[in-house]
Amino acid sequence: MTAAHNIAWFSEIDKEDISLAGGKGANLGEMTKAGFNVPNGFIITSHAYYDFIRENNILDSEAKAEQPADADTAIQFDQLANDDEDIDDELYNEAVNVVKEAQKASASLLQRRLKVGYARAARLLDIMEAKGIVGPGEGAKPREVFLEKPVGPEIDPEDFK
């Protein structure tokens, strides 16, 4: 291996270096040693990737991003849903009400109920996911909704004044 542990020439690696070079890199090393006509080249080692992750604190930021929203009750979720300081879509609150009522969230549901295109529906879902209102997408399955469905008709506090 070269002095820099972040690169290795094909001629320096073989099948024993899979954890360092990956399968393709190790195969190229084996082919070079076997005399196949492989152009001169090198691989970036796994050490380079680990160093990059460590130096840029990527693991720390990933761990923070994966933590669940800090909301234990439906009231706190409602507050999150209504906290629209950074939301620039006038249909956001209506979209939240749609998924809250349906207890499922999908782009197609928002498209049908709000009469919007896919891009806008998907963006609304992304905002709701960022705010902890809905779970992450899992392929074609609807997303989980973390808000409780209202039991009765919505009560407007203005009615009691």
Question: Is this structure's pTM higher than 0.75?
Answer: no
- Per-residue pLDDT at 55: 84
- Per-residue pLDDT at 80: 57
Question: How far apart (Å, rounded) are the C-alpha atoms in residues 27 and 35?
Answer: 12
Looking up residue 103, the CATH number of its domain turns out to be 1.10.10.10
Same-domain check for residues 61 and 82: no
- Per-residue pLDDT at 3: 42
- Per-residue pLDDT at 54: 82
SS3 67: coil
Question: How far apart (Å, rounded) are the C-alpha atoms in residues 143 and 141?
Answer: 6
- In the chain, DSSP assigns E strands to 7-9, 42-44
- Per-residue pLDDT at 153: 58
* Domain presence at residue 148: yes
Same-domain check for residues 53 and 78: no
Same-domain check for residues 61 and 95: no
The domain in which residue 12 lies consists of 7-65
Question: How far apart (Å, rounded) are the C-alpha atoms in residues 148 and 152?
Answer: 12
pLDDT profile of the chain (161 residues), mean per 10: 70 86 87 90 86 79 57 56 63 91 93 93 91 87 84 54 45
Question: How far apart (Å, rounded) are the C-alpha atoms in residues 146 and 7?
Answer: 47
Are 95 and 82 spatial neighbours (Cβ–Cβ below 8 Å)?
no
Are 119 and 109 spatial neighbours (Cβ–Cβ below 8 Å)?
no
Same-domain check for residues 80 and 118: yes
Of 20, 36, 65, the last residue of a domain is: 65
Looking up residue 28, the CATH number of its domain turns out to be 3.30.1490.20
Question: In the chain, how many domains are there?
Answer: 2
* Domain presence at residue 36: yes
* Domain presence at residue 59: yes
Same-domain check for residues 78 and 149: yes
